[in-house]
Amino acid sequence: MKFQKILITLVFSAVYTLGFAQADRCGTDQSDAFMESIRENKKSFEATRNKARVERFIPIQFHNVGTTQGEGRVNDKDILKALCLLNERYVGTEMRFYSVGINYLDNTNVNDNPGGNQARTAMADAKNPAALNIFIVSDAGTGVAGYYTRNLDIVVVRKNTLSDDRYTLEHELGHFFSLAHTHRGWDQIANGPGVEQGGYDPMIHGDTVTIASVSSSQSGSTLIELMDMSNCTTAADEICDTPPDYGFGFSCSCCRMIYDVWDRNGDKIEPMIDNVMSYSNGCDPYRFSEGQVTAMHTDFDSNRRAYLRTNEVDQYTPITEEATILSPAGSEWEEFNGVLFDWEDVPNAESYLVKIDGALNEQFITTESELYLEILEADATYFWFVTPVSKFGASCGAEEVRIFTTGSGTTGLDEIENITNYSISPNPSTTGNDIRVFLTSEINMDAAVSIIDISGKVVLTQNENLNSGINKITVESASLISGLYIIQIETEAGKITDKLLIK
Ligand SMILES: [Zn+2]
């Protein structure tokens, strides 16, 4: 027996040394004060359960926290990816989370010690009163991946747990909507010899667990749940369709029980090991029980959550595709001072986040499916990707990263005064597509755009007013048949002509 225990300890040490994340726990207080909501909500459980299942839309205010100097924030894209994943992981619950914005909170106290008094004041000030507030910080406390605090009614998660395969964010939102750990009471049994992570330990509790309650600073004294459901409304998480779980999740990263354990009635314990509100490792995907979903719905419908029910969104339109890139199509772009980044429209995208790296390190947000830049350097290499974004987050998948090199050519125009830059895209084009002309003008002036076929006949004319700055002209050329054309732009200062091929 003694040997076995040493062996287990050694195995545990090895596992926990290798898997740093596994040592992280949830910092949510689950005392009686926390349980008040679910106990109160239970009076309405039946009414909620019998209501037709409707989608519930939950506004989220993200707080992307950095140091007071504005450093160390996560990429906005990673937050939007986490939101996409959150919606995917909650899809069966019919709870839809949408972003009302990302607030940059530059405050070292919040970033490094969100539990401190100064940080709490700062977070209370930064809160959006009409949203679920999530603060993304560097350090949520020693060994703490995240928590919900009832006092401030906010969720705090550590940066490197966003989108993790342990469902940290999904778990903390479960707490936000009143759920306790399925192993409530066992969450901090970390004091016994050899018990490094808490939960049931065969050396301490035996194969048959005979004690009637457990106690932790996180949960207070809590009744031990029995398999026969005789005390399920008052023990552990107080939800009946989540079976007993004595904190078995920490026993391995394998998403199963490695012990045979019986309760004091002699019934073998069979937990819902892959429950989001357990501490199990290695399950992905995790799930909620029906009872937990009802509890969350009831909480959302309750008076204390009235502030979330803004009714400003009533349709779930997530992004399910990545952007298909059109330009730059190859690995080179001849002119450096006029580069068109172009991609196909993505269904449900409300905007696009374009990240350009390499010789430039900048993020652009555009509502159009293109971006024209005049600021790149000659003979430089750029990496870039585009992320479609909607209020339900970015696309969940990984974007295609493109690489191209600029040449030393310029789009500068000597022949026309006051026009400094000009390009056509796409060229060659295909029938049925419109063509875009980008013109950078130094002054406001009129321009006439014509398309002339090879016989010299003008097939299309458009009059445009150019403004000082970059102008985009959409030439409605969708009706043109394939062939070679001349595109001509005429202004008071002179004329630009160029070849245009439509395939
Ligand atoms: Zn938790």
The CATH number of whichever domain residue 427 belongs to comes to 2.60.40.1930
Amino acid at 223: L
Same domain, 193 and 125: no
Please check whether residue 378 lies inside any domain of the structure.
yes
CA of 327 to the centre of ligand 1 (A): 46
Same domain, 71 and 141: yes
In this prediction, residue 232 carries a pLDDT of 96
Among residues 129, 158, 176, which one ends one of the domains? Answer: 176
Same domain, 47 and 95: yes
In this prediction, residue 309 carries a pLDDT of 96
In the chain, the N- to C-terminal Cα span, in Å, equals: 80
Q: Which residues does the chain have with pLDDT short of 50?
A: 1-22, 190-196
CA of 239 to the centre of ligand 1 (A): 15
CA of 217 to the centre of ligand 1 (A): 14
Number of compact structural domains in the chain: 4
In this prediction, residue 21 carries a pLDDT of 37
CA of 467 to the centre of ligand 1 (A): 56
Among residues 389, 409, 429, which one ends one of the domains? Answer: 409
CA of 162 to the centre of ligand 1 (A): 15
DSSP H or E run through 39: helix 32-41
CA of 21 to the centre of ligand 1 (A): 15
Domain range holding 142? 31-176
CA of 333 to the centre of ligand 1 (A): 51
Spatial distance between the Cα atoms of 293 and 396, rounded to a whole number of angstroms: 23
CA of 209 to the centre of ligand 1 (A): 23
Dihedral (C-alpha) 490, 491, 493, 496: value to the nearest 10 degrees?
-30
CA of 176 to the centre of ligand 1 (A): 10
Please check whether residue 303 lies inside any domain of the structure.
no
CA of 174 to the centre of ligand 1 (A): 8
Spatial distance between the Cα atoms of 221 and 271, rounded to a whole number of angstroms: 21
Please check whether residue 305 lies inside any domain of the structure.
no
Please check whether residue 304 lies inside any domain of the structure.
no
Query: CATH number for the domain including 398?
Result: 2.60.40.10
Please check whether residue 5 lies inside any domain of the structure.
yes
Cis? peptide before 193, omega within 30° of 0: no
DSSP H or E run through 38: helix 32-41
Same domain, 9 and 38: no
In this prediction, residue 19 carries a pLDDT of 35
CA of 118 to the centre of ligand 1 (A): 24
Whether the CB-CB separation of 309 and 299 falls below 8 Å is answered with: no
CA of 179 to the centre of ligand 1 (A): 9
Please check whether residue 307 lies inside any domain of the structure.
no
Same domain, 168 and 69: yes
Please check whether residue 119 lies inside any domain of the structure.
yes
Query: CATH number for the domain including 112?
Result: 3.40.390.10
451-458, long-range: CB < 8 A, 24+ apart: 451/475, 451/477, 451/480, 451/485, 451/486, 451/487, 451/488, 451/500, 452/485, 452/486, 452/487, 452/488, 453/483, 453/485, 453/486, 454/483, 454/484, 454/485, 454/486
Measured from the Cβ of residue 419, the count of other Cβ atoms closer than 10 Å reads 25
Same domain, 76 and 188: no
Nearest residue to 110 via CA among 125, 91, 88, 97? 125
Among residues 409, 440, 458, which one ends one of the domains? Answer: 409
CA of 180 to the centre of ligand 1 (A): 7
Same domain, 51 and 167: yes
Same domain, 447 and 480: yes
CA of 475 to the centre of ligand 1 (A): 57
Same domain, 403 and 475: no
Nearest residue to 45 via CA among 295, 301, 303? 295
Same domain, 339 and 234: no
Same domain, 451 and 400: no
Please check whether residue 42 lies inside any domain of the structure.
yes
Measured from the Cβ of residue 296, the count of other Cβ atoms closer than 10 Å reads 26
Whether the CB-CB separation of 243 and 272 falls below 8 Å is answered with: yes
CA of 307 to the centre of ligand 1 (A): 23
In this prediction, residue 154 carries a pLDDT of 98
Give the Å distances, CA to CA, from 311 to 59, 308, 314, 392.
Answer: 10, 9, 7, 15
Same domain, 41 and 88: yes
Structure tokens at 373: 């830049």
